[in-house]
Amino acid sequence: MKHSLCIGAYPGKDAVYHLEKVKEHGFDGLEYYAWWNLGDLKQLAKEQERIGVGISATCTRFISLVDESQRDDYLEGARQTIEAARILGVKSVISQTGNVLDGVPRDTQRANMVETLKRCAPLFEEAGIVLEVEPLNGLVDHMGHFLQRSDESVDVIDQVGSPNVKLVFDVYHQQITEGNVTRNAVGYLDRINHYHIADNPGRKQPGTGELNYVNILRAIKDTGFSGFIGLECGYTIDTDLAVEQYKNDILAKL
């Protein structure tokens, strides 16, 4: 397994600072979501080469997947994101789904999403990049978000039927939405490209809440998973200290 930090781990610090911290901690990548805020992408690519680690995941522009009227905008945003990812060497692109549309049957919205993802799939296949759909919890953080459950998310991925359209499985979100996280995190492995982790409640660093991350990550590791585990969390203590505790108290026990 590889590990990534997420932008915001060091509040007020830019991408280059975060990349240097990724390197310092012996991690493998940085998740930077709004690539359009990075400025000169070619210059950042040079900084990545200098530091020796790079951005491992970014996001599509935040355009609804369930609204058919926004399909062309979503596809154009996907093309722009693929070009940015090409410059930066990013191989994973995360997409939210948008919120539920009032007055539109859920089956129709799901079908709209599947169709848009099917049209995106050849673009990502050609680029050698994985588009990751992310279910989010609607109870605490993302009320109204369309995709929330693992089973429905997997069904969407299966309908799209592309090796370059998968899921990012966020353990924090799925603990809130449905629980059963270890079984789902492992059982849906072939549809998952990478994982996000944070503890619950509070969405802080692993070890601060109810989730047993030694057991969860051990189960994922035992499958032979070789992708990214992203620390998408806040921190209750100094970030450097929290990351060291995570490595010593959790990773060292896997």
Token pair 């806040």 is at which residue?
234
Catalytic: which of 20, 31, 132, 134?
134
Report the interhelical angle of 150-160 vs 106-127 (nearest 10°): 60
User: Can 125 be counted among the known catalytic residues?
Assistant: no
Q: Are 131 and 165 in contact (CB under 8 A)?
A: yes
CB-CB neighbours of 91 under 10 Å: 19
Indicate the burial class of 61 (C-beta count within 10 angstroms; 0-12, 13-18, 19 or more): middle
Phi, psi of 136 (to 5 degrees): -130, 150
User: Quick one: how far is CA 243 from the chain centroid?
Assistant: 19
Look at phi and psi of residue 178 and say left if phi exceeds 0, alpha if psi is from -120 to 50, else beta.
Answer: alpha
User: Can 244 be counted among the known catalytic residues?
Assistant: no
Catalytic: which of 83, 210, 232, 244?
232
Residues 6+ apart with CB under 8 A from 191: 154, 157, 158, 166, 167
Catalytic positions: 134, 232
